[in-house]
Amino acid sequence: MATEAANLVASNLDSVKLVAMALAIAVGGMFPAFGIGKVGAKAMESIGRNPEAASKVMTAMLIAAAFIEAIAIYALVVALIIKFV
C-alpha cells in the first residue's frame, strides 16, 4: 500500500514537472518573440523615417534583440533545471 502511494506521488511529481517545464519554455519563448518583433518593426519604421540614421538604429536594434534573446535562453535554462532537478 505504501509503495503504491509512493509511486503515485512520484508519477504526479513527474507530471507537474513536465507541465512546469512546458509553461516555462512556452512563456519564456513567446514574450521575447513579441519583443524582438516589436523592436524590429520600430527600427524599420525609424529607418524609413530617417534613412541617414540607419547604421545607428541598426546597431541599437541588434543589441536590444540580443538582450531580449537572452531572456529566452534564461527560460530554456530554467526549463532544463526543472527537468533535471
The pLDDT assigned to 5 comes to: 66
Question: Is the Cβ–Cβ distance between 75 and 31 less than 8 Å?
Answer: no
What are the CA-CA distances from residue 27 to residues 4, 14, 17, 49, 72 (Å)?
A: 35, 20, 15, 33, 9
- Domain total of the chain: 1
Q: What pLDDT score was predicted for residue 33?
A: 94
* Residue 22's CATH number: 1.20.20.10
Q: Which has the higher per-residue pLDDT, 11 or 68?
A: 68
Q: Indicate the residue type of 1.
A: M
pLDDT digits (tens, 9 = 90+) for 32-76: 999 999 999 999 999 999 999 999 999 999 999 999 999 999 999
Range of the domain at 80: 2-84
How much is the pLDDT for 67? 95
Greater pLDDT, 85 or 60: 60
For the segment 13-32, the average pLDDT, to the nearest whole number, is: 91
